[in-house]
Amino acid sequence: MQTQIQQAVEQISTLILGKQQEVRLALTCLLAGGHLLIEDLPGMGKTTLSHALAQVFGLNFSRIQFTSDLLPADMLGVNIFDNQQQSFRFHPGPIFSQVVLADEINRASPKTQSALLEAMEEHQVSLDGKTHHLPEPFFVIGTQNPVHQAGTYPLPESQLDRFLMRVQLGYPNWQAEKKMLQQPQADRSVRLKQVIDIQQLLRLQQHLGKIHASEGILDYILRLVTFSRESDLFANALSPRASKAILQAARSWALLHERDYLIPEDIQAVLPAVAEHRLRAALAEHQSKSSLSRQLLEHVDPLAA
């Protein structure tokens, strides 16, 4: 079964070139049942990545382009009066899909943002007193422009917290980009082969809980979050929800690497993606150095028995 995951990675990597690590993290996030936030400049392949993810898992996919005048109803759906049946009928909005790409999430008004984030948390939508369940698995990929780009409503910390991971794609390297340019033009229509079906995906997700996390690993996670709370580097420290997220993501990462127990490297691999958007530097001078989660890792010894 795990080899299927490897196949999925390879499939996606034919489309997103030279971004193995990021693709793996995105898969990890999906396996862990969390939502993914991709933060990057326009044109870096955010949309392509989410398309590819949906395709290899054979999930249905919809895309919502967020703008400043997008209303919650545009996304969730509306009740429309049906003249023939003389009753209201619910027209589900684009959010009723298994993979939802919420594009440029920080351009929408806070009202719409919070409607989406509520749906992400509850896996259901309430409209006019009726609850509509979202399909399972339900996976939201939010993309956002870096905050310093004009015309954005930055997500508040409490809502950033809903995303299990935040991944930054960044520019591809020389070879990868050259290879991309050499590819034939018509590859827009290329469909990736489905390698995992829904049943298998759900089974994998259930298997996650069985991956062994030894006491040493739990202590390592606790040392990390405690350091973030006690050090003067961070203004926002890691919450218990964050430590749960780290463990869940690390298990998923171990699954991706065909291991049924956790090792410190799993934590170290996922921590930047899981923790970076939950931390905030205490002082501007810290921000400018290396990334905050990198600093956090460098201060804590994984062994320290």
Partner 1 sequence: MPRLNPSAHNHAHLLLSLVLLVNAASLFEPLQLWILLLVLCAVIIRLSLFLNWQKHQLSVRTLNLLAVLSAIVLAYFGWQLGLLLGMLNLLVMASSLKLMLLASRRDYFQLISVQFFLIGTGLVFNQSIAFSMLYGLLTLLLLLSLAFHISPSSAWLQQSHRVGMLCLQALPIALLLFLVMPKLGPMWQMPTAKGTETGLSERVTPGDVAQLARSADLAFRATFDSIVPNTSQRYWRALTLEDFDGKSWQVHPYRQKLRERYRSAGLAFRPAIEGPSFDYQVIAEPTQQRWLFGLDIAISSDPQVWLSHDYQLVSRINLQSSLAYKVKSYFMAPLQEGIPELDNRLNLQVPAEGNPRTRELALQLRAEHVGDKAYLQAVKEVFTAGGFRYTLRPNPMPVDPVDQFLFEDKAGFCAHYASAAAYMLRLGGIPARMVTGYLGGEMRGDRYMSVYQYDAHAWVEWLSDQGWQRFDPTVLVSPLRLDYGLERAVAYEESFLLDTPLAGFRNIAWLNEFRLMLADMDYLWSRWVLGFSRENQQDMLKSLLGKLTPTRLALFGLALVLAIALLLGLYQLKHWLPDRSNPSAWYYKKALKLLAKQGLQRPSWQGPQDFNQEVAQRFPGKAARCFGQLTYHYMRMNYRPMSEQEQKASLSQLRRLVPQLKQALSEGGG
Per rule CB under 8 A, is residue 172 in the interface with partner 1?
no
Per rule CB under 8 A, is residue 230 in the interface with partner 1?
yes
CB of 222 to partner 1, least distance (A): 15
Cβ-proximal residues to 149 (8 Å cutoff; 6+ apart), any chain: 41
Per rule CB under 8 A, is residue 291 in the interface with partner 1?
no
Q: Which of the stretches 58-66, 94-102, 196-204, 296-304 binds partner 1 when contact is defined by CB under 8 A?
A: 296-304
The pair phi, psi for residue 140, each rounded to 5°, is -105, 130
Cβ-proximal residues to 90 (8 Å cutoff; 6+ apart), any chain: 77, 78, 79, 80, 127, 130, 132
DSSP-H helix ranges across 16-45: 20-31
Residue whose CB is less far from partner 1, 115 or 238? 238
Residue whose CB is less far from partner 1, 124 or 214? 214
Per rule CB under 8 A, is residue 231 in the interface with partner 1?
yes
The Cα 253–Cα 167 span in angstroms is: 14
Task: Please say whether the beta carbons of 271 and 296 come within 8 A.
Answer: yes
| Choice from 75, 262, 275, 292 touching partner 1 (CB under 8 A) | 262
Q: Which of the stretches 21-29, 62-70, 189-197, 213-221 binds partner 1 when contact is defined by CB under 8 A?
A: 213-221
Per rule CB under 8 A, is residue 229 in the interface with partner 1?
yes
Residue whose CB is less far from partner 1, 179 or 280? 280
| Choice from 156, 177, 283, 290 touching partner 1 (CB under 8 A) | 283
CB of 171 to partner 1, least distance (A): 26
Residue 74 CB neighbour total at 10 angstroms: 18
Per-position x/- string for 234-253, each x denoting binding to partner 1 as judged by CB under 8 A, each - no binding: ---x----------------
Residue whose CB is less far from partner 1, 66 or 253? 253
Per rule CB under 8 A, is residue 264 in the interface with partner 1?
yes
Buried b (16+ CB within 10 A) or exposed e, 180-209: eeeeeeeeeeeebeebbeeeebeebbeeee
Residue whose CB is less far from partner 1, 117 or 250? 250
Per rule CB under 8 A, is residue 268 in the interface with partner 1?
yes
Which candidate, 117, 108, 212, 114, places its Cα nearest to that of 152?
108
Per rule CB under 8 A, is residue 186 in the interface with partner 1?
no
Please name the helix (run of DSSP H) or strand (run of DSSP E) that holds residue 126, with its range, or none. strand 124-127
CB of 298 to partner 1, least distance (A): 5
User: Virtual CA dihedral for 288, 290, 295, 298, nearest 10 degrees?
Assistant: -150
Per rule CB under 8 A, is residue 298 in the interface with partner 1?
yes
Cβ-proximal residues to 143 (8 Å cutoff; 6+ apart), any chain: 37, 38, 39, 40, 46, 47, 50, 101, 102, 103, 104, 105
Q: In what order do the strands lie in the sheet with 99-103?
A: 61-65, 99-103, 139-144, 35-39, 163-167
Per rule CB under 8 A, is residue 154 in the interface with partner 1?
no
Residues at the contact surface with partner 1, assessed by CB under 8 A: 212, 214, 216-217, 229-232, 237, 261-265, 268, 282-283, 297-303, 305
